[in-house]
Amino acid sequence: MPGVDNAHTTAGQEAGHREDASEEGWPVPAGTTALSVPVPEADALVRGWRARYDTAARYGGTAHLTVLFPFLHRSATGPAEVAALGGLFAAHPAFTLTFRRCGRFPGVLYLVPEPAAPLRALTAAVARRWPSHPPYGGLFGDLAPHLTVANSGGAALHRDIERRLSALLPVSARVGAVDLVVHEAGRWQPWLTFPLGGGGAVTGRRAPAR
């Protein structure tokens, strides 16, 4: 379907450009939050490359899959919002992802999570509940779920990383929770963790100072 393929290519190109710009010229304001899924199983494989070639890694955090960014400002995230998130994620079962291959956006090398449907369902549910906060501010349309490995270094380097990383795949990860993280003091900091499938209570530290 050429129309779908072209749309994905355009969205990917815009995403690659924005990732670079957001780190180099568009700093994330303090108090910005995001919903993401940490993937420690993949982090063990890509940590070294991310540290050198993923510009976002300098702001903290492990390898992850974004559920929704940007989300509510921390000043707008009170008990009612936390309860709503808890109920929303409790309605979605835990799931397993497998990373078998790498994918590319222009300027970006990433791991492809399979199946993508559970991640897309989480993003869609949050976006429906908070329609004023679409993924990436609504800039990129239906952007494929991805775990960024490198967004700098150039095509030749990305080919070399892909060759070496592919030899370590597949790797699987169990997703049982979604994290709410907040940008403060120039870094992404963990805030709250929401279990999937009603598998426990919301956990985390106290709300950051506003």
- Confirm whether 92 is domain-assigned: yes
User: Which DSSP string do the residues of 30-97 spell out, in sequence order?
Assistant: TT-EEEEEE-HHHHHHHHHHHHHH-GGGGG---SEEEEESS---GGG--HHHHHHHHHHHHTS--EEE
- Confirm whether 192 is domain-assigned: yes
Q: What is the pLDDT of residues 7-51, one digit of tens each?
A: 333 334 334 333 333 433 346 899 999 999 999 999 999 999 999
Task: Tell me what pLDDT residue 2 has.
Answer: 23
Task: Tell me what pLDDT residue 5 has.
Answer: 26
Rounded CA separation 7/9 (Å)? 5
Task: Tell me what pLDDT residue 28 has.
Answer: 86
- Based on the structure, what is the number of domains in the chain? 1
Angle of CA points 138, 143, 145, to nearest 5°: 130
Task: Tell me what pLDDT residue 26 has.
Answer: 47
Q: Which pTM was predicted?
A: 0.84
- Confirm whether 145 is domain-assigned: yes
Task: Tell me what pLDDT residue 27 has.
Answer: 64
- Confirm whether 165 is domain-assigned: yes
Residue range of the domain that includes 70: 2-204
- Confirm whether 143 is domain-assigned: yes
Residues of the chain with pLDDT under 50: 1-26, 209-210
Task: Tell me what pLDDT residue 9 has.
Answer: 35
- Confirm whether 113 is domain-assigned: yes
- Confirm whether 116 is domain-assigned: yes
- Confirm whether 210 is domain-assigned: no
Q: What CATH number has the domain bearing residue 200?
A: 3.90.1140.10
